[in-house]
Structure 1
């Protein structure tokens, strides 16, 4: 296989260096030579052992990921610019967000303050609500799919939380591209109804959001200490989520999102009101000015800060 660095995709996008890896491939830092801007280019990497049908299925998923994200126009969702084809397979060209993933942040910092985690959760909720409004479900919300970028707002540095990797996202009503009964997503961040084989819904995305906020304040997800995937999934189905003891007044909101019965979870609108009510009460909130970055209605270009792994 020829070296990838310096390679030009679709006669336009030159690859620089890998900045992230996921289940479906590698994300490269690159440059759009036509528009002279930095981009992120997702390369689909498939095992040589898989059959032709599985390969076609994976390519369909990649194209669907691009179509999914391209339908969303929200500063809390990574923007898709283009889908290029090279070597008979698709490459997704996206906004480059200079950032670290939330799981990378937690590896270094161990856990976040309730106020910081709450602000990140509020932004992610707004991104999910925007996706759900156009019939798009994410289905794999977890810390490694949350990018944390720093940006200047009103003279102050603030954090922008961005939801990425709609690789297993699904349009509401679209046929599944996976085998019947196959549970997709990360076990520790997958809602109980989906582990039982039920369909993904907005409520299941909100459960995963609750598990992600829990991980932000506690340092790991609510069920991640259980051991292997089977043990973890069994606990999610059969046991109520533990209390996020480090989350201060954020605990009731996290607990509501993590209710096992999806009909008992708050809607996105109700959860948004809960965030608005609790954030001003969290330790440190009174000493800080209002953070406009938590208002997720307007798009803000990515900051011109040094990039880290995405």
Structure 2
């Protein structure tokens, strides 16, 4: 194909981009750079490809590489897309290293927003993968690859692929049959989204990604800064307590308590993660009393710097010590009620 060739008498083809399946072109009518891609499909899928491409041309979103024009040249559909300067997620991870969780979470926020808009328009992407995610110099992640036949895929397929893409971002490999272990909320979220029974509710996914994009887990805060003052720990306890009313959470532990820049805490939603042994109530029952024991163990780590252990002394807890001792009682009936705990934490605060 000659470099001087034009598509539709308008788009002058220039050099290849990335792996070579996409080419830079100059739109001589609008005087702008664009990206073009030939959609290589069997002849029997050509009409479906044109239909999907024209539907995708109606999508406009800051995190979507828009389809600007759809052409039929030499019997094949061609997509004319916005030109976005950036490197693919696949290239970024393979040439450098896996990404830190906050950056991966920000990518997840962008991609989930893009897929939400597409699904609301009745469009399934069908090809979400690290090669179709572009990272721009301004920190955006934009999803390209719209306009191909989705072959009757369901939106849930896109969400599974999103989870696999995020797994690649932090692990440097696809999930395969064994997603990476780890108690942190990001990896727990990814495993939950990859679960054969389907992803968690989208609001839970969105909320968790939003928080992880800007906040840090409590265990990471303690590891970086050391044990926290009793009053600050009491405030964390009150914030978590507000999420435990009338429902068994089952995953209360430091990795699931996120701390924002001002020190405020938030418990992430339950995402089929379970609780680490050090934060699991001795009776192992799915009750509110068990959640309170887990909260006590979490606050213990925050104020002492280590998880609770049988016979361990409370050396830093101060006025919080009696509250923790009640929460960590081996007898569920001796633990405080929600109202009693709220009152006691307010006294410490």
8 Å Cα contact 2:65-2:82 kept in structure 1: yes
Please state if 1:81 is matched with 2:15.
no
TM-score (structure 1 length as normaliser):
0.65
Deviations 1:54-80 (A, max 9, x none): 3242x3343134223213111111111
**Residue of structure 2 equivalent to 1:19:** 17
Report the Cα offset of residue 83 of structure 1. 1.4
Aligned residues: 222
Structural RMSD (CA): 2.5
Greater relative contact order (Cα < 8 A, sep 6+): 1
8 Å Cα contact 1:69-1:78 kept in structure 2: no
3-state SS, counterpart of residue 210 of structure 1: helix
Report the Cα offset of residue 44 of structure 1. 3.7
**Residue of structure 2 equivalent to 1:278:** 212
Distance in 1 (alpha carbons) for counterparts of 2:153 and 2:174: 20
Distance in 2 (alpha carbons) for counterparts of 1:217 and 1:123: 16
| Structure holding more helix per residue | 2
Please state if 1:253 is matched with 2:189.
yes
8 Å Cα contact 1:101-1:148 kept in structure 2: yes
**Residue of structure 2 equivalent to 1:124:** 111
Please state if 1:216 is matched with 2:181.
no
Distance in 2 (alpha carbons) for counterparts of 1:169 and 1:251: 31
Unaligned runs of 5+ in 1: 47-53, 152-158, 171-175, 177-198, 224-234, 236-240, 289-310
Aligned pair in 2 of structure 1 residues 140, 244: CA closer, same or farther (>3 Å)?
farther
**What pairs up with 1:1-310 in 2 under 5 angstroms?**
3-21=1-19, 26-45=21-40, 54-57=42-45, 59-151=46-138, 159-170=139-150, 176=151, 200-223=153-176, 235=177, 241-245=178-182, 248-262=184-198, 265-279=199-213, 280-281=215-216
Distance in 1 (alpha carbons) for counterparts of 2:146 and 2:97: 26
Give the greater-gyration-radius structure (CA). 2
Distance in 2 (alpha carbons) for counterparts of 1:45 and 1:205: 21
Aligned pair in 2 of structure 1 residues 34, 92: CA closer, same or farther (>3 Å)?
same
Report the Cα offset of residue 21 of structure 1. 4.6
3-state SS, counterpart of residue 40 of structure 1: strand
TM-score (structure 2 length as normaliser):
0.58
8 Å Cα contact 1:113-1:217 kept in structure 2: yes
Deviations 1:111-136 (A, max 9, x none): 00011111001110111111111111
Distance in 2 (alpha carbons) for counterparts of 1:45 and 1:135: 23
Distance in 1 (alpha carbons) for counterparts of 2:12 and 2:148: 26
4+ residue stretches of structure 1 with deviation over 4 A?
Answer: 282-288
Deviations 1:23-53 (A, max 9, x none): xxx311010001100001112457xxxxxxx
Deviations 1:260-309 (A, max 9, x none): 112xx223332111212333125699679xxxxxxxxxxxxxxxxxxxxx
Unaligned runs of 5+ in 2: 222-258, 263-349
